[in-house]
């Protein structure tokens, strides 16, 4: 009944494409920087576009699914839409960062750390699971 494929793909891509963890495009004064743990509005936009593209490829084009029961044959854009929106909202430093430098939370600081990426990934996984598996938010196209 439940399709865990989109959740697994979305969580892995969330971690890999968090601006500043592995890379940041565009970076401060450069096209790309690796492991700088910073973000900017432009880099969040670019990473979101990359995230949307890869998530769409794995979820819709390749149809990577992990079913626990019944399966659907139509394309389901619901998990992609949920994943992309959550990616933007939960990118560490854009709206908030938990934990922050010397604080529990900071708002709009455009920084990330290993700990904040871990916490945001756990929050991301929980919310994505709620929308995709529990609530079953779906947008089917033929």
**pLDDT 10s digits, 112-125:** 999 999 999 999 99
* Nearest alpha carbon to residue 130 among 87, 82, 63: 82
Q: How many residues does the chain have?
A: 142
Crossing angle (nearest 10°) for helices 5-17 and 114-129: 160
* pLDDT tens-digit map of 46-104: 999 999 999 999 988 887 867 665 555 567 788 899 999 999 999 999 999 999 989 99
Torsion, CA 56, CA 59, CA 64, CA 68, rounded to 10? 170
- Whole-model pTM? 0.79
21 touches 37 (CB < 8 A): yes
**Which DSSP category does 111 fall into?**
B
């Amino acid at each position: 009944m439940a399709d865990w494929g989109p959740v697994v793909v979305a969580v892995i891509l969330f971690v890999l494409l968090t601006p500043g963890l592995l890379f940041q495009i565009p970076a401060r004064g450069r096209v790309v920087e690796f492991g700088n743990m910073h973000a900017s509005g432009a880099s969040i936009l670019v990473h979101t576009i990359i995230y949307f593209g890869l998530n769409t490829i794995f979820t819709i084009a390749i149809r990577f699914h992990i079913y626990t029961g019944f399966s659907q044959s139509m394309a389901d854009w619901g998990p992609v839409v949920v994943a992309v929106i959550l990616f933007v909202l939960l990118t560490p430093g854009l709206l908030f960062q938990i934990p922050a430098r010397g604080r529990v939370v900071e708002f709009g600081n455009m920084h990330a750390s290993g700990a904040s990426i871990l916490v945001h990934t756990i929050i991301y996984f929980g919310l994505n699971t709620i929308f995709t598996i529990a609530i079953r938010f779906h947008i089917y196209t033929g």
